[in-house]
């Protein structure tokens, strides 16, 4: 077993810690969970991309990234596809940046109509999901 094999094994083990087994922590933190029917679209060095089987409207994907050298979760990005308006695509991205030590985690909500993007509040994101009849899969 060579270095590349060991590195690949470590990457798989560490990324596995932040898959579905991490959902109880996500639930507690109010971060979108990885649904049971999702699959891994792509796995790279210290990151993984999860994808919904149904990619019509709603929660589409989750990107999970680990910090270099320490194997701790660093970042998650969740994308929610909204219905297009006048053939302009729209989505909401929820970006969670995990703090370490005594710092607090940060969660940012972006509304992305077409090629533009703007930061919105959680309340605004919740309101858009309610208006679009999209089930939100995070709490708090």
Closest CA to 82 of 27, 26, 124: 124
What is the domain partition of the chain in residue ranges?
3-131
Asked if residue 58 has pLDDT above 70, the reply is: yes
Closest CA to 91 of 116, 121, 54, 127: 116
pTM of the full predicted structure?
Answer: 0.88
Give the per-residue pLDDT at 84. Answer: 94
pLDDT digits (tens, 9 = 90+) for 124-135: 999 999 999 998
pLDDT-derived band of residue 3, with 50, 70 and 90 as boundaries? low
Residues in the chain: 140
Contact 42, 70 (CB under 8 A): no
pLDDT digits (tens, 9 = 90+) for 28-49: 999 999 999 999 999 888 889 9
21 contacts: CB under 8 Å, gap ≥ 6: none
- The strand order across the sheet containing 118-120 reads 39-44, 47-51, 58-66, 73-85, 88-97, 106-113, 118-120
Tokens of 24: 């109880």
Instruction: Pick 16 or 122 by higher pLDDT.
Output: 122
Give the per-residue pLDDT at 80. Answer: 96
Can you tell me whether residue 129 is helix, strand or coil? helix
pLDDT digits (tens, 9 = 90+) for 77-103: 999 999 999 999 999 999 999 998 888
Give the per-residue pLDDT at 35. Answer: 93
Q: What is the mean pLDDT of residues 8-23?
A: 79
What is the residue-averaged pLDDT of the chain?
Answer: 89
78 contacts: CB under 8 Å, gap ≥ 6: 31, 32, 59, 61, 62, 93, 94, 96
């Amino acid at each position: 077993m060579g270095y590349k094999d060991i590195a690949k094994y470590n990457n798989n083990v560490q990324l596995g810690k932040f898959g579905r087994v991490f959902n109880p922590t996500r639930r507690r933190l109010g971060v979108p969970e990885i649904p049971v029917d999702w699959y891994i679209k792509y796995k790279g060095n210290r990151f993984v991309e999860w994808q919904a089987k149904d990619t019509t409207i709603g929660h589409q994907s989750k990107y999970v990234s680990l910090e270099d050298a320490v194997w701790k979760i660093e970042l998650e990005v969740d994308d929610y596809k909204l219905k297009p308006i006048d053939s302009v695509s729209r989505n909401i991205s929820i970006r969670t940046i995990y703090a370490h030590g005594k710092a607090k985690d940060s969660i940012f909500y972006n509304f992305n109509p077409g090629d533009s993007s703007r930061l919105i509040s959680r309340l605004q994101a919740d309101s858009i999901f309610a208006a679009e009849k999209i089930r939100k899969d995070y709490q708090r």
